[in-house]
Structure 1
Amino acid sequence: MKDYKIVVIGAVKSTERILNGLLRNNINVVGVLGLDRSVSRKVSGYVDLGALCQVENVPYKSFININDDENIKWVRNLKPDYMFAVGFSQLLKHDILAIPQFGTIGFHPTKLPKGRGRAPLAWLTYNAEDGAASFFLMTDGADSGDIFVQEPFTVDKDDHAFHVEEKILSAIDKGLDKWLPLFKDGRTKPVPQCDEQASYTGIRREIDGLIDWEEPGDMTYARIRAASKPHPGAYTFANGRKLLIWEAAMIDRCNFWGAPGRVLEDVADGYLVQAGDKVLKLLQMEYFDNPKETVSLKVGQLLGYRPQQEIHKMYQEINALKKKIEELKK
C-alpha cells in the first residue's frame, strides 16, 4: 500500500468535498492551501477550508496569490507526492506545479474531453447536459490531462445550478470511494483523453444573467437555471430596483397570454410572467438591495426596461433641463 503525501489547494464546496473524501479514505493529507476570505467575494460557492482542517488536525495556510514565494516554499517543505488543485481561478505556475513528485490532480465536472474550460456548472445547467466527476493529471492545457476516474451524473431539463451542484458533489463522493482504494494500492493508471473529441466552454460573468424578456422563453428559463445559486443570479428590474430570480418553472399549459415581461397572474407559490413565447412561474426572488424584503409584484406590471421608452424619457428630461437653463440665463 502506498502512503502518498497529499497537498490540497482550493476554495469551494467541491474542494471541501474532495478533502473530506481523501480523509474518509485514510489518504495522508499533509497540508491544505485555502483562498483567503478577504479575496473571496466573487468566488461562487466559496468555502473557508480552515475550519475543517482545524477539526481534522491538518496543517492549513491561507493564500491570496497561490504563486507567491511563501506559498511555494510552504508546499515544497511538505514534500508532497501529489497535489489536488480544485475550485479556484488562479493559474498555477510551473514553480508550484513541479513540486509534487508524481504530479497535480485536477477536477472537472464534465465528461472530458467534452466541456473543457470555464464555468462548467453554469454551462451544464444551461444546456441540461449530463456531466461526470472527472479527476485527471493537470498539464499545460485546459483540463486536457490523462483521466484517473469519471463518475457520471444526469442533468434534467428543469435542474437549476443548485440542483446540479448537489449532483456533482454526490458524484465526487462516489468517484473517490471507487478510485482512492486503488490509488492507495498503486493500481490505478490514468487514461489519455482524445483531443479530437474535445469541446470548450467560455467564461460567464454576472451580466450574463440579465434577462431579456423578448428572447425565446426556453432561453430565459435556461438563463435563470444556469445563473442560480451558487452563482450571482439571473436578474431583471422591478420598480427601478434590481430583482434577482433564483428559481422558476416552465408552465407547459397555460390559459394566460400577454406581452413579454408582463406579470400575468399572482398565484399561490409565485408569479406567472410572459417570457417570449413561453410563460414562466417565478418561484424564488429577492431584491438585490434588500434580500430580506418580501417581493411584491402587481398583475400587469412590466418587468425590465424597454430601451426606446427609457431613451425617450431621458430625451424629455434633458429637454426640460435645457429649458430651465435657458430661463435662468434670462
Structure 2
Amino acid sequence: MTADAASPPPTQAATAALAALRDGGRATTVAARRPVRMKLDAGTYDGLSIELPGPAILAERWAAPFLAASLDVFANGSALLTRPTGSDAAPEPTPLTALVDALRDGLAALPERRDAGRPYNDLRLFVSVASPSTVTSYLADVARRVRRTAPRWSPPKADKPQPKSAKERVALSRARAKAREDESSRAWLQGMFAEEADYYGYNPGDRVPATRLYADASEAIGGWVEDRKETIKRDGPEEWEAEADEYGYPLVPRVPTSHTFYRAADDVLGPRRRVQGVRTYTIPEEPVNLTALDRAVIERAAEMIADDVRLRFAATADTSPTTVDDRPDNVIPLRRVV
C-alpha cells in the first residue's frame, strides 16, 4: 500500500494537488504567488537551481488542506488560533513557529511520486538539504498566508463571555502587548539572517553588546510602527497587511521592553555571555531558535553552577573580596580561553 493510500483523505488530496503543480506557473504581479527560485548551497547539491511554489500557492494547494486534516485554523486579528479538527472547544493562540514546524514535518514526509512535477520534487529536496534558517524563512511566509486566508474566529453567541472586570481587561491588554513585542523582536532578529540583511551591520562571529542590539532593534521596530500608521492612514489596512506579508513584518508591530527583547534574542541568537563585564551576544551563522525545553535546561545548568560556587565558598575559610556575579537572568558566563 502506498503512503498516499494510507493517508487521511484531506492529506491525500493535498498531496495530489501539490504533485500536480508544474514549474513556471502563471505570470502574476503578486509577489506571493510567483515561483520562488534559488540555488542550493549544500554539499552534493551546491549550486543546483530549484523552483518552489509561491508562498500563496503552496498555502492554498497544500498547506491549508494539510493542516485541516488535524487542525481547525482561525485568525483573530494578528493572532493565529487552532484546535483539533472537529473539536467544539475554543481555539487557542498558536505561535507561527508551531505551524512552520508542522509544515516542515509534512513536507519532509512527502512520498516519492512518479507523476509529480518539479515543484513537488524540489520541495522534498529543499526541506531535506537547505539550511534550517532558509527553510524557516520560506515556510514562515507560507504560514502567514495560511493565517491571512483562515476564517475569522468569533465565539458562539451562546458562549458569549461575561463582561471582563477592569483587572481582567488590564491583564489581557498587557498579555496582548507582550505577545506583539515578542513577535516584533523575533521578526527583527530573524531578519538579520536574510540574504539582503547587510544593513543590519552584523556578521557571524561578531560580539555585540546586548544594549546596542536592543537599541538597534527598538529603532527599527519603531520605524515599523510609524510605517504601519502612515500606510493604514494613506492606503487602508489591507495595504499594510500586504506589505507586512511581503516583507515579513508583524501585522501589529510594537517596540519591546528590554526584558522581552532579551528573552527573544536568547532564543534566536543563543544566551548572552559576560565579556569583560558586558552582557554580549555572539552572532551565529544561522538562528539558534532555542525551544522552551532548551531554555529550561540552560537555566537549570546556570542554577547548578551558582549553587556549586556557593557551596565551595561556604566550605572554605577564604575571605577574599571575590564574589559571585549577580546573574538575575541565569546566563552562563563565557569562559575566557588564554
- Place the TM-score, normalised by the shorter chain, in its bin: under 0.3
Task: Considering fraction of residues, name the structure with more strand.
Answer: 1
Write 1 or 2 for the structure with the bigger share of helix. Answer: 2
TM-score (norm 1): 0.24
Structure label with greater radius of gyration: 1
